[in-house]
Structure 1
């Protein structure tokens, strides 16, 4: 890339480049991001053409345009331009270009110092700034070479492990033997017993065992030949029938004779090692009723509840297939959350709550404590950091009590849950999985640079530090999409944004995460098919619910729940459902609708969006959006064309609402400025609604534009309105078009986004990374001690400061 810059500097385009850089300086702006740079360059070229300095075809800008396609930032200093280039996904390079067009590479440390100076936080040459660098700690780990394979870490790890088995069979077979021999359930030995003393004996006994089960009918139940197999050294866990046991033993035999990554994955995926799971979602308002849509919950509660139910079903299936019914094993799934004594009429003050429709899934709530006393009220996710360490200590005792043992896997959710997962996994020595859902650093532009200005409201110094700790400590990380990790060619991923950044006056992150680590895996969530299913499945719908919700959506006159009457309720509905916050951008959808006469003529806009009145909300961002919503309705005189429902719907009602919209051949619009994944998109698509969703974030991977939905840029108001209006007009002219998109949307979800697919993959990952954790435990110890140092030197002192400030109020 350095050569490409020099090529521009030495080409006949250098005069134009010099003029462009000069024009950048005239804008009285010193920090330029990619999109702004490209827009300004286009304007600049138009002006140059008008002045006759550039040919109408723009042929003399070819080299400059190549550079602009990979530039992420330009920071203007007094005598130079500091350029951040992203030549490939997950890679950055830094250069200084002087006014005289001299170019040199600069280091990460230099670019971080330049960013500090930009916000007037300059550190002198002999000044002290704490540096965080995780790069050396990934030397123990295999690394993916091709960025296209990021997010498929388990496949790479399997190849690595199988190659190790091949290169050094004695050591790795010894490790495999130890791994198989340590498995037990409540003291009952599984897989192999003391009759097999070492890996050589294991290899011999396998062949005898295979010959034994091969001689029996394939469908013969395991209990009928359990004891003869036990005499050969093999305990329960290999299968529930003779054929299944034979398959499992043959996989192990093949792995010992000729290591192969596919065989390794198939074998490890069968090993019964997960019986007790903990899913951490701790920042409060976690329940089955009366909490969905409250601040800090919403989609995460839906995700975790559905995941927990599906995990139990998959574990029950796996236990049966492994032949462990003979031991009467019952898997346990615990959702660890926060107990809130002042629970506002919800069940969030109950210590233990059974999850509906499950055998052994419970919500375990543990209070937040400070100075020995429980906190009674809900606390925003931005304020909870001082309570997490004590919460983890208390939660460990509670988990031992409920599970009668330690968990086999801990899955964190969101930053706070991931930090607790780290603290628990470190203490209990179990496998840790992280799920981010969304990383706040990506949602708030320049949030790290201006953290001091935002600290009183968001406490990003704690959140970003917690992210660094948890994501590096995790044995594996599950993301919903590829771009959540490394973005796209023209945008930086959420995890990628932690690679290099500065928190001025606090620390510099020289290398915050290894994006090529095989710990990253894309495992998208599913849809709860009990609640969300096609509108055309009339046999599964209740007529009373359908009529009640149809009235609520279109005609009910109840100011406590609904704002706005429809002049013509029969028009095609444009529908959206989300929290009222800036990122979800429902007010942006109102503007799109308001600025399209065609849409207003053909459609009604129906919104299900939290609160209706300012006095009902304690969230500043929600209150701001409420005010903006009313202002837009008045400004564009949308009365009679819009319905705004300020209701909290149950999951059953939510599913039926989508279907009622489908009955009227409506359209779902998700206009978020950024969406980490987009569960509502899946819910709408499986219900049969043609869906328009933001192109910023996860929807880019869910929707294949024009095939099973449409991608929009919600910041381009007119363009989005025109695209919606065009589709509506085409549907009016050709009713089959709506049905075609409806069918394609449903097919997309059923093929890729079910909880069965998700949990099968998650449990397979847990077993494979459990094995990797076992064989590499000592090599991880240096990193874990470094992480603990960051926790006690950076995180905990700031958390204590926040707690003291809270108590002084």
Structure 2
């Protein structure tokens, strides 16, 4: 038996929403739904396994007077061996997931700094949703620790549904930052060692939409349900929540048709109310209870929730359903099991009419309390009802079919009993958290056998250990171009040589970089990141970092890449002197070549996980997935123990973007290519200089008082 001391350390990442150990605020908004409950339950279930010694659930720290103070605690215990870790990134207050993208690099840098203080690094990163996938991928690429990912919902699927609803592409982009989300998902799928899904439908119909589609890297592990909370009652008991419903209902003793979800248009509750309103027989047989989040005033809700609840009330009024339908304003999370049991004891039915349901955790909870199910035929319910044989699947857009399925169960006592018993039995057999955790550990076991270690490089110059900050710059269009600027920058370096590293981060090869720096009279850098981050060398002998080379060689296949690119128009290989072991470089003709996005998609479709970079509008480079200027810079910072907050980076083209994101202090110098960096936004850490070249770097040094 594995001892707890030597057992595995799993780090779960779930960044958005409100996550705490108790009384989860499910349904508070679109970001605090089933995923928050899933990750909390998963962390607890994994911690109970003998093979697991530590589980950290990492989320964002929120210091906001409008939400509970628990969300500002840096640490919170879930149970023995499991804790919530909260990492600060971006504004202190609570913000929607769509607004988090500009701060995810800061989150990744802060989390890595925290991890470096721990007794050991995790064995696995497991990211949940696209934003956490972005962070998990950055950490995995840098550390070599395997990444496992769960999407929960997918951007390409959401985009198609939003377009079908009539929203324009511009509106979708502005509201949801959908292209950033999809790009992050594509990168995660190309680099994750394993993708965990809840249903076969996700693999066959949702992930299939992505360029890097590898079903053999995906595994179905259905979520569990907490059987200590969700269970049936054998005898009639007092249900306090019934008192909440009585003011709505003329005859509260009738069976309950229960719907429980967020007030989200995709949950399709309005169609359910229409189905009920159109069926006099259904109204005579049962009451309809809709538990749709919590509200004090519909007028103060977010736009989506306000629209849904307003439409529900209009439909209730149109069909004159007063006395037969309840839409309570409030419920607590701890009320939910009682609500299910109340409906089950009334011989009612649980209904999920969502347009599409990624999994359907509420179906498991309801079934575990003895409720038969009527659910959408799109998504997870297909697997759940198929396995448990405890209900009926329906077309969510067919209101008469929904009504007919409900009548079929409510009018047939034998069928109700059969579905109830089969649900109880099979949920316990197939969907417990213990079953989920055991299968999860079985699937990740091969990944746990690999324990990457970043070797410490030998200190090649003793005096460097006294330096506690660094200035890094690109060469072309950033450092060179102004003799006055070069003189001022050289004076700065000479005056601060005892405490400031001088670093270069360039697309040039090492020999080319050294030659042009010497020609312009600049001091020899202490460290050179060359060939776009694929090589790192240290003064004075320009000692190459062989550990970095071994690290980035992972899954690098240059022969296959050249073969795939060979026939594309508008791409011409640069001279041999510009190629290197880990960099394939082309001249790029924007008039005839495919877009960078199209080329990247082609490489993903051919199962090549790489970085692609377009610089100055005309140089196109393909690198290993683990190589970039930003990743190499962070590797240097770790090895030499220089905080990123004390590294000033200067650049002026798209190739510099990822070293400017996160916790570094960035200076974008004025040049004709700086528009490639116009998407960067972080007022405290990204400065757009008014001066060009080295003059701009000096301006940035003054701005940051560096």
Regarding TM over 0.5, the answer is yes
1:285–1:348 CA contact under 8 A, matched in 2:
no
CA deviation vs aligned residue, 1:701-733 (integer Å, no higher than 9, x gap): 1102993211111100112212212322223xx
SS of alignment partner, residue 715 of structure 1: coil
- Give 2:391's aligned residue: 709
Shift of 1:286: 1.4
Q: Match of 2:592?
A: none
Alpha-carbon separation, structure 2, partners of 1:682 and 1:384: 31
Deviation at 1:334, TM superposition (A): 1.0
State how 1:2-401 maps to structure 2 within 5 Å: 275-287=8-20, 288-289=22-23, 291-295=25-29, 296-314=31-49, 317-318=50-51, 331-356=53-78, 358-369=79-90, 375-401=91-117
Distance 1:400 1:535 in 2: 49
CA distance in 2, matches of 1:590, 1:675: 19
Structure 1 residue 593 displacement after superposition: 0.9
Long gaps (5+) in structure 2: 453-549, 558-608, 612-623, 631-653, 662-675, 687-706
Shift of 1:274: 5.1
Specify whether residues 789 and 629 from structure 1 end up closer, same or farther in structure 2 by C-alpha distance, changes over 3 A only.
farther
Aligned to 1:627: 310
User: Are the aligned partners of 2:141 and 2:626 in contact in 1 as well (CA < 8 Å)?
Assistant: no
Q: Does 1:697 align with 2:697?
A: no
Pairwise mapping of residues 436-585 of structure 1 onto structure 2 (< 5 A)? 436-445=151-160, 451-486=169-204, 493-498=205-210, 512-516=211-215, 518-536=216-234, 546-552=238-244, 554-555=245-246, 557=247, 565-585=248-268
User: 2:359, 2:98 → 1: CA distance?
Assistant: 21
Are the structure 2 counterparts of residues 292 and 347 from structure 1 closer, same or farther at C-alpha, using a change threshold of 3 Å? farther
Q: 1:780 aligns with which of 555, 562, 573?
A: 555
Q: How far apart in 2 are the matches of 1:799 and 1:581?
A: 34
Could you say if the C-alpha distance between residues 801 and 779 of structure 1 is closer, same or farther in structure 2, counting changes exceeding 3 Å? closer
Q: 3-state DSSP class of the match of 1:600?
A: helix
Query: Aligned pair in 2 of structure 1 residues 349, 698: CA closer, same or farther (>3 Å)?
Result: closer
State how far apart, in whole Å, the 1-side matches of 2:77 and 2:299 are: 29
- Are the aligned partners of 1:674 and 1:697 in contact in 2 as well (CA < 8 Å)? yes
User: Structure 1 residue 462: deviation in Å?
Assistant: 0.8
Partner Cα separation in structure 1 for residue 178 and residue 406 of structure 2: 38
Q: Deviations over 1:612-649 (max 9, x none)?
A: 46556442211111211111111111111100022242
Give, in whole Å, the separation in 1 of the partners of 2:224 and 2:551: 32
2:372–2:416 Cα contact (<8 Å) kept: yes
Deviation readout 1:466-525 (Å, 9 max, x if unpaired): 111112111111000111011xxxxxx111112xxxxxxxxxxxxx21334x21111111
Q: Which of 420, 423, 428 does residue 742 from structure 1 map onto?
A: 420
| Other structure's SS at 2:555 match | helix
TM-score (norm 2): 0.63
Q: Sort the Cα spacing of 1:290 and 1:434 in 2 relative to 1 into closer, same or farther, 3 A.
A: closer
Residues 28 and 294 of structure 2 are in contact (CA less than 8 Å); yes or no, is this contact kept in structure 1?
no
Residue 159 of structure 2 contacts residue 178 of structure 2 at CA under 8 Å; is this kept in 1?
A: no
What do the CA deviations read for 1:431-479 (whole angstroms, capped 9, x no partner)? 1100111113213426589533421111111111111111211111100
Contact 1:574 1:605 in 2 (8 A): yes
1:763-804: CA deviations, max 9, x gaps? 122221344797998442563545468997699778945667
1:718 paired to 2:400: yes
- In the alignment, the residues of structure 2 paired with residue 690 and residue 627 of structure 1 have an alpha-carbon distance, to the nearest angstrom, of 29
Distance of 1:573 and 1:798 partners within structure 2: 57
CA offsets per residue over residues 358-391 of structure 1, 9 Å max, x none?
A: 113111111223xxxxx12211111110000110
Name whichever of 747-756 and 387-396 sits farther off. Answer: 747-756
Structure 1 distance, partners of 2:7, 2:144, is 14
Question: Hey, which of these two has a bigger chunk of helix by percent?
Answer: 1
Q: What is the CA–CA distance in structure 1 between the aligned matches of 2:138 and 2:351, rounded to whole Å?
A: 40
Shift of 1:671: 0.6
Task: Tell me the distance in 2 between the aligned counterparts of 1:621 and 1:778.
Answer: 47
Match of 2:346 in 1: 664
What is the TM-score when the length of structure 1 is the normalising length?
0.55
Match of 1:420 in 2: 135
CA distance in 2, matches of 1:705, 1:524: 11
Higher relative contact order (CA 8 A, sep 6+): 1
The SS at the match of 1:335 is strand
Is 1:588 aligned with 2:271? yes
In 1, the alpha carbon distance for the partners of 2:268 and 2:197 equals 23
Q: Give the 3-state SS of the residue equivalent to 1:547 in structure 2.
A: coil
* SS of the residue 2:12 aligns to: strand
